[in-house]
Amino acid sequence: MKVCRRATFNAAHRLNREDWSGEKNVDVFGKCSNPNYHGHNYVLEVWLEGQIDPETGYVIDLKIIKDLIKEEISERFDHRNLNLDCKEFENLNPTAENIALVSWRLLRARLDEKYKLTIKLWETENNVVECDGE
């Protein structure tokens, strides 16, 4: 049995490697490397797999996940510049893949290990990633 809580956050980012030339960054990352950043409404789905607790009928109270997303994800990333404001991306390109991986690690550290955790992240309505571990 899996349960999911969905949330959104809005952030600016750019894709860029300091150790590459501007030319190479444009070659690889195109307009995503524009120097002054652009942004997205990220949509996050947090999925937990586990057993139904026969007492409550819950795998987990989704309010716990809602609060955890607020604490670990929204307060960190919402209305932020991922490159400039978030130490998690100081040396890590904030691609959708890496944002999902970082989110997975942040939530994994806060969850009982009996739950299997999967993160799904929409960067746009056409681009999605899914991460279920490292």
> β-pairing, 2-13 with 80-81?
parallel
- Active-site annotation holder among 4, 32, 40, 113: 32
CB of 44 to a second copy, least distance (A): 10
CB atoms within 10 A of CB 80: 19
Give me the sign of the Cα torsion angle 8, 71, 130, 100.
positive
Please tell me the distance from the alpha carbon of residue 132 to that of residue 5, in angstroms, as a whole number: 15
24 contributes a contact to a second copy by CB under 8 A: no
131 a catalytic residue = no
23 contributes a contact to a second copy by CB under 8 A: no
4 a catalytic residue = no
123 a catalytic residue = yes
CB of 45 to a second copy, least distance (A): 8
Please tell me the distance from the alpha carbon of residue 11 to that of residue 82, in angstroms, as a whole number: 7
- Three-state DSSP class for 66? helix
Contacting residue, 22, 28, 67, 114, with a second copy by CB under 8 A: 28
Single-letter code of the amino acid located at 12: A
Which residues here bind a second copy, judged by CB under 8 A?
1-8, 10-13, 15, 17, 28-32, 34, 36-41, 45, 47, 52, 55-59, 61-63, 66, 78-81, 84-85, 92-98, 100-101, 124-131
